[in-house]
Amino acid sequence: MSSGSGFGDEKGGSSSVGEPEYGHDPASGGIFSSDYKRHDDLKEMLDSNKDSLKLEAMKRIVAMIARGKNASDLFPAVVKNVACKNIEVKKLVYVYLVRYAEEQQDLALLSISTFQRGLKDPNQLIRASALRVLSSIRVTIIVPIMMLAIKEAASDMSPYVRKTAAHAIPKLYSLDPEQKDQLIEVIEKLLADKTTLVAGSVVMAFEEVCPERIDLIHKNYRKLCNLLIDVEEWGQVVIINMLTRYARTQFLNPNVNESLLEESGEKAFYGSDDEEGKEEKAEAAALAKRKPYVMDPDHRLLLRNTKPLLQSRNAAVVMAVAQLYFHLAPKAEVGVIAKALVRLMRSHSEVQYVVLQNVATMTIKRRGMFEPYLKSFYIRSTDPTQIKILKLEVLTNLANETNISTILREFQTYIKSMDKDFVAATIQAIGRCATNIGEVRDTCLNGLVQLLSNRDELVVAESVVVIKKLLQMQPEQHSDIIKHMAKLTDNIQVPMARASILWLIGEYCEHVPKIAPDVLRKMAKTFTNEEDIVKLQIINLAAKLYLTNSKQTKLLTQYVLNLAKYDQNYDIRDRARFIRQLIVPTDKSGALSKYAKKLFLALKPAPVLESPFKDRDHFQLGSLSHLLNAKAGGYQELPDWPETAPDPSVRNVELEDVITTSEGRIGLLGDWREVPEWTKCSSREKRKEKKVEKPFYSDSEEESGPTESADSESDSASGSGSGSESEESGSGSESEESREESESEQEDKEDEEDKRKKKKKTDRGKVKAPAVESPESEESSGAEEKNRAQKVKGRRSGSESESEEEEESESESSRSESESESESESDTDAKKKKKAPVTKPPPKQAKKESKKEKKEMSLLDLDDFEPTPSPQVTPVNNFLSSSLVTDLEGLSLTDTVMAPTTIAPSGSVKTYELLHRITGEGLGVEYCFSRQPFSPDAHMVAVQIMFTNNTNAETKNLHVEDPKLQSGMRIKEFPEIELLPPGEMVTVVMGIDFCDSTQAANFQLCTHIRKFFVSIQPPVGELMMPVFMTENEFKKEQGQLMGMNEISEKLTLGEKCQNEHGIVQRVTSAANVSRVPCGSDKECRFAGKTVSSGILVLVTVATKEERAAQLTVNCEKMVIGTMLVKDILQALTQ
Amino acid sequence: MIHSLFLINSSSDIFLEKHWKSVISRSVCDYFFEVQEKAGEAENVPPVIHAGHHYLINIYREKIFFVSVIQSEVPPLFVIEFLHHVAETFQDYFGECSESAIKDNVVIVYELLEEMLDNGFPLATESNILKELIKPPNILRSVVNSITGSCNVGETLPTGQLSTIPWRRAGVKYTNNEAYFDVVEEIDAILDKTGSVVFAEIQGVIDACVNLTGMPDLTLSFMNPRLLDDVSFHPCVRFKRWESERVLSFIPPDGNFRLLSYHVSAQNLVAIPIYVKQNISFFETGSSGRLDITVGPKQTMGKTVEAVFVTINMPKVVLSANLTATQGNYTYNPVTKTLVWDIGKLSQQKLPNLKGSLTLQCGAPKPEESPSLNIDLKIQQLAISGLKVNRLDMYGEKYKPFKGVKYVSKAGKFQCMAITIWLYIFTNKENSHLKC
């Protein structure tokens, strides 16, 4: 195929466009002698020893090639220089070689050994270039050599060589498709490559060689998504297009619910014969409704990681992302692409052209998306006509009732344009607006009629054509317009317009009975001079008039038909013969003639004026096929969404095989939705340090440090698994809890306590249960909470055995304790606990024994005790308390949760005195900060108040009165306590918004007999609540809170807090902040935000040698920062 | 992807061809010529042409058609963007992207094309890498080359392709370290005849010329970054930094590059720097017309409006113009029917005015369209959107660079429309319709 055609082409080429070339270069034509002569001197130069001469010769040869001249006879002379030392000569020889090797296969083989040597070169660039040239030489004999070279290069150390290997794959494939299988193996290998350099090229190879092998992508999907932003722009386009197709096969339609609803509605409308089928459908619809659509996190990942690329400078990338969103995103999210596409309209006109084509298609499906940008599609007189017409198309698609008046006004200016094609298009656009929007039909029609008096014939003609279409919709009302148009036949010469008018008159001759015959008369006179299309319509008109008004027009018709009989055009002669037979009654007229009226005067349906872009969206947008509206070679159809999602686990890479349950995914998903920063996470910032080493499947965990990802994911998975296993009957919150629990516990097994905490927190951050639920494991409070807990308990005790329930509650309580207390627990304890929820009956024996004691205690608690001080006396500082004690403490906690109204302060919480029992005349009031979110108002700090009646009389009507607050502070009183019997104690919760200040809240505490002035002053640490963040987030936030917002203090750690646990415990007791996971063990980080205004508070304690440490607090509010530093300092130095 | 490339000049002469896969005969261009003939003007040639077994995707730049041959499905924008990139690279190398420049440097062009595409897929497109591979020609080097016989291909192997910041070449050295940023804004506006704004928006770019030694890490911050509605970045800009802090942080390429282009949304009111009063009318009787245009400064924020040009595309029947300008001078080209009025600087005191009569072709009907005015202008030292660079910091290198920022506002597609008679009738009808 090669050499012969190449030669032929050459000749053909020069002869077809040769003429102008003769002037430039007589040698090219046919003066062979001079041609050869010149080539001879080139050969001489190539054979010389001087590089400069060789170079000169090569330059001249390349110039010949560039101009399309044949230089193949120089091949032997050139190929000798393939090993030349001079780099430029060498490169030019390569250029020549690649160009002519196909024609001179045998000679080309001489050069192969040079490249084979190059493939072994220690320099990666030389290896790469050798492979590049070798693979570009289209000689079938060397296919095995190429194959070998590619295979070798695919596992080269250098990513650049691997990239070259990826480039070589399609070259070899096009040379010898037989190699496909082997090449697929190489592609598979290269797809697993983790560098950005290779990614784009290998996907390109994939698309050319085996686009149908979508299964190769599974394992690399997440990696590709994450690498995407760092791939060079051309590679991005290819990858995005491929991933669009991939996603269409692997995920569910995000708009499935909407479309299902529509569909079911339609089906119901059409109705089906058999009832059963109907029912089934209804059921299916109901099922779909019941099961809400949940986006696969991988689907989300793709959308998230491509979005920043809308900001690319490369129009092709922007377009690729736009089409991805159009085809894959939920309806609500597609809108983001509009702005970027509108931006592209500023680019070169070719770019505009392509973008507008795509926008036109999009506007049909999603008009709302571009409506805000209507004005960006206004046409400028300087636009090229093809752009104008496309913009017009978009404007027409965007027209609706609300904006039609502005659009029409805009159209009016366009009508005045000097560009006649454009004017014609505008008139058609007006016609389309008129058909689509009923309200403006009359206005448009009137406007168009005005155009009939335009001096430009083209405008008039186009208007006539459009008016004709419009009139067809409601002819009765517009006989005056028809009359007006009838008059136009005298002036209009454009055949199409004349034909249209005649057709109109013929069609609606009943509405203009007087004028119609007259028009026919005039036309009969000029018949011979008319264009064919007009003649046909004259015959038509005559026929119709003959049928309706034969008296007046019989002779005219005869005359016209006679004229037509002798016309030059056989179409017209045929038509005349045909019509005569139909309408003129003769003796032997056929059976059809009695139907003549029906044939000619049947009611014709009004034409539908619709966009040429309708239904184009079945082609993938942005593709060549879409642009041409025809399938281009090699186009891969965009598959339909699957009915059910294929197994998502295929995308898991070995390490994270654990995540298979959908529940864990929901958790992840939840996180993504809540943390929009994810979209930005694939940072260019990281490019420098991290690009290559980045753990490639850290799809969800990029922010949370490299070590974290796998672990926390497996957490959630195991959690959900165990959750469903152990507590099928539990309520949502319950399973939530148990999941958390088991997660943390599983971790315990392997890790130390502190690490466990860290994990759990990130995890919880991810799950982010509604505010009430998640921190409930810490000291619980809040009425709802308790009620629910009780309910759950009740239900469970109904269904499950007593002992099991006990265990459940035990493990639960111990867990909640340990979490809240941030105290260390012994490993054995943790292990034991782990067993509780995960493994159910059999291996419990031993544990039961060990817990016996506790069980008794808990029973005891339940029956007799209300919160007693006994378990709570556990000294706060004794953080090394035995597991037993912690468990006990926890038990009491859980029990109190179940108690109806009261919440016992746990040991870790400091209580403050509000009213001494002496000043309170027997009424003692204490308060503490429960660190619970105050559910009625999230901006308030929950304050738990404990009343003790030490008198012998009842105290009644305890309530708050007359609060005196600093401006901005608010108070939410506790519900009035009607009765407090002597010796009893009651606990209530009130909320105070301190406005992030430590100003006291003053109010009166009233009983039925007395009023006490009291005030609550919060320590600064209680004005905040924990925030869960990852290490990276922490660092990022901290980076933004430098300078004035950062307060550092050096300190010497106190006796008891020299280890990490001590520090964590001290800090968390001083301030309501949560631990942030941290890679180094020298640092402890905490994060919180103020309750009232949500300002971030970041605390870092960095330990050094001995007991020295440095405390850093970052907070926008300097007052809070300074106070917090003081408080924590105190806590740590004690 | 891209099979072959043909460069065609305005006289339909194929003056360069390059094939990346097997050779495709230049007769494939016949399809192109056919379409070109049909389209008439060059800018109306559709960018994508179906040519038998092939597809031709072309762009038109500097009076040259870059026609690429495609054999199978490919995103058309991919090819179009690439071709523009090729044109820009030529521009960068030869100072202009003209036929003569390409012919004079045909070997370099060939070498460039060879490096830019491999088997039709883009390989090295960053100008910094290309310049390492193939040195751009300059007079001194060509003299030296011709004497010593050395070449314009880089002796050293290009390491840029291997680095993680492919846009910057390694080992940059300058004696004067300078970084210049030009903030250039263009106002796109359509005004109606009364001078009120139909549509206005600002498109801006920041072009940089950075000549800094080593690997500088720059941070550019704005006084009012929220102004920027929609931005697109050079790949060197760290997107995340921008998202979180609205700061441009980047390791710049060496030399000239476009750092950022942005869009100031139509929501912000665009200050239109000038106003135009125009009256162009044609008399019913007698073949003449009258023209009266006044231009004045409007919201210029204390800066002078310079280089004001008014261009009017007259109707075909206008034969000549006999006008007097109080400032600047005008020319009327009777062939292209364009009237250009070069005003120069606008001063507040005396408003420039152009007035006089137009001569129409005898007997021809009076043109009904009143022509629209295109206006060009320039304001130095001002970004019309109000965008201001706050500061530029450099990290990673020790020396102190010289920094400069320049602001220029220009008219982009600035057009004054005319009201048409049709509108009047139209609204009239609407009213009557309402009455009914």
The token pair that represents B49 in the structure block: 């042409």
The distance between the two most distant Cα atoms of chain B, rounded to a whole number of Å, is 91
**What are the tens digits of pLDDT across the range A680-707?**
334 444 444 443 344 444 344 334 334 3
CA A538/CA A523 separation, integer angstroms:
7
Name which of A87, A320, A378 is nearest B155 (Cβ-Cβ).
A87
- Residue B164's pLDDT is 67
Name which of B22, B77, B165 is nearest A319 (Cβ-Cβ).
B77
Residue of A nearest to B23 (CA): A6
CA A235/CA A1004 separation, integer angstroms:
71
Helix (H, G, I), strand (E, B) or coil at A508: coil
- Residue A291's pLDDT is 60
**What are the tens digits of pLDDT across the range A766-775?**
444 444 444 4
Give B157 to chain A, closest Cα distance, Å. Answer: 7
Tell me whether residues B81 and A315 touch, CB distance under 8 A. yes
How much of chain A, in percent, has pLDDT values that exceed 70? 70
**What are the tens digits of pLDDT across the range A275-329?**
444 444 444 555 545 566 778 888 889 998 898 889 888 999 999 999 999 998 8
A499 Cβ contact partners less than 8 Å away, ≥ 6 residues apart: A531, A533, A534, A536, A537
CA A335/CA A314 separation, integer angstroms:
20
List all residues of chain B from 375 to 404 with a beta carbon under 8 Å from chain A. none
Chain B residues with CB-CB distance to A385 below 8 A? 44
- In the predicted structure, residue A726 carries a pLDDT above the cut 80: no
Cα torsion A493, A495, A498, A503 to 10°: value is: 170
CB of B144 less than 8 A from some CB of A? no
- In the predicted structure, residue A886 carries a pLDDT above the cut 90: no
- Residue A38's pLDDT is 59
- Residue A814's pLDDT is 44
* A329 CB-contact burial (10 Å; exposed 0-12 / middle 13-18 / buried 19+): buried
**What are the tens digits of pLDDT across the range A406-462?**
888 888 888 877 788 888 899 889 888 888 887 888 888 888 887 777 777 778 778
**What are the tens digits of pLDDT across the range A728-779?**
444 444 444 444 444 444 444 444 445 444 444 444 444 444 444 444 444 4
Helix (H, G, I), strand (E, B) or coil at A990: strand
CA B95/CA B136 separation, integer angstroms:
10
Tell me whether residues A634 and B422 touch, CB distance under 8 A. no
Helix (H, G, I), strand (E, B) or coil at B258: strand
Tell me whether residues B13 and A418 touch, CB distance under 8 A. no
Beta strands per DSSP E along A817-933: 911-915, 923-933
Chain B residues with CB-CB distance to A633 below 8 A? 53, 71-73
CA B247/CA A934 separation, integer angstroms:
38
**What are the tens digits of pLDDT across the range A456-488?**
777 877 888 888 888 877 767 777 788 888 887
**Three-state secondary structure of B107-137:** HHHHHHHHHHEECCEECCCCHHHHHHHECCC
CB B188 within 8 A of CB B366: no
Residue of A nearest to B153 (CA): A88
* A597 CB-contact burial (10 Å; exposed 0-12 / middle 13-18 / buried 19+): middle
| Beta bridge pairs of residue B374 | B311, B415
Residue B56: which pLDDT band, with cuts at 50, 70 and 90?
A: very high
Helix (H) or strand (E) segment spanning residue A387:
helix A385-398
* Pairing label, strands B54-61, B64-70: antiparallel
> Using N-to-C axis directions, what is the helix angle for A159-175 and A180-191, rounded to 10°?
160
The secondary structure of A53-80 as a DSSP string is HHHHHHHHHHHHHHTT---GGGHHHHHG
Q: What is the DSSP letter of A545?
A: H
Pairwise pLDDT comparison (A867 vs A604), residue with the higher score: A604
The token pair that represents A150 in the structure block: 């590619």
Name which of B16, B121, B235 is nearest A66 (Cβ-Cβ).
B16
Beta strands per DSSP E along A965-1082: 970-972, 977-980, 985-993, 1001-1006, 1011-1016, 1024-1026, 1046-1052, 1074-1076
Residue A28: which pLDDT band, with cuts at 50, 70 and 90?
A: very low
Tell me whether residues A167 and B238 touch, CB distance under 8 A. no
- Residue A451's pLDDT is 79
CB atoms within 10 A of CB A993: 21
**Three-state secondary structure of B43-90:** HHCCCEEEECCEEEEEEEECCEEEEEEECCCCCHHHHHHHHHHHHHHH
Q: What is the DSSP letter of B271?
A: P
- In the predicted structure, residue A580 carries a pLDDT above the cut 90: no
**What are the tens digits of pLDDT across the range A132-178?**
888 888 888 888 889 999 999 998 888 888 999 999 999 999 888 88
CA B40/CA B38 separation, integer angstroms:
5
Tell me whether residues B25 and A451 touch, CB distance under 8 A. no
How much of chain B, in percent, has pLDDT values that exceed 70? 84
How much of chain A, in percent, has pLDDT values that exceed 90? 6
Tell me whether residues A632 and B114 touch, CB distance under 8 A. no
- Residue A700's pLDDT is 41
Residue A390: which pLDDT band, with cuts at 50, 70 and 90?
A: very high
Q: Which of A1112, A387, A725 is nearest to B413 (CA)?
A: A387
- In the predicted structure, residue A217 carries a pLDDT above the cut 80: yes
- Residue B266's pLDDT is 58
Residue with tokens 């290198």: B397
Helix (H, G, I), strand (E, B) or coil at B259: strand
- Residue A854's pLDDT is 44
Name which of B46, B107, B425 is nearest A450 (Cβ-Cβ).
B425
Q: Which residue out of B27, B77, B147 would a mutagenesis test of the A interface target, given it has the greatest number of A Cβ atoms within 10 Å?
A: B77
- In the predicted structure, residue A884 carries a pLDDT above the cut 50: no
CB of B104 less than 8 A from some CB of A? no
Tell me whether residues A229 and B109 touch, CB distance under 8 A. no
Q: Which of A1033, A1032, A996, A986 is nearest to A1119 (CA)?
A: A996
Residue A1023: which pLDDT band, with cuts at 50, 70 and 90?
A: confident
- Residue B269's pLDDT is 66
State mean pLDDT over A91-101: 87
List all residues of chain B from 260 to 299 with a beta carbon under 8 Å from chain A. 261, 263, 266
Helix (H) or strand (E) segment spanning residue B178:
strand B178-191
Q: Which residue out of A313, A324, A620 would a mutagenesis test of the B interface target, given it has the greatest number of B Cβ atoms within 10 Å?
A: A313
- Residue B433's pLDDT is 35
Mean pLDDT comparison of A264-268, A725-729, B178-182, B357-361, highest-scoring range: B178-182
**What are the tens digits of pLDDT across the range B320-343?**
888 888 888 888 888 888 888 888
Task: Give the A:B interface size as CB pairs under 8 Å.
Answer: 313
**What are the tens digits of pLDDT across the range A246-281?**
998 888 888 876 654 444 444 334 434 444 444 444
Name which of A413, A446, A455 is nearest B365 (Cβ-Cβ).
A455
**What are the tens digits of pLDDT across the range B383-435?**
888 888 888 888 888 888 888 888 888 877 777 654 322 222 232 333 333 33
Tell me whether residues A348 and B418 touch, CB distance under 8 A. no
pTM: 0.64
- Residue B389's pLDDT is 86
**What are the tens digits of pLDDT across the range A336-388?**
898 889 888 888 889 999 999 999 999 888 888 888 888 888 888 778 889 99
* Pairing label, strands B178-191, B402-416: parallel
- Residue A278's pLDDT is 45
Helix (H) or strand (E) segment spanning residue A547:
helix A532-548
Give B416 to chain A, closest Cα distance, Å. Answer: 10
Residue of A nearest to B28 (CA): A13
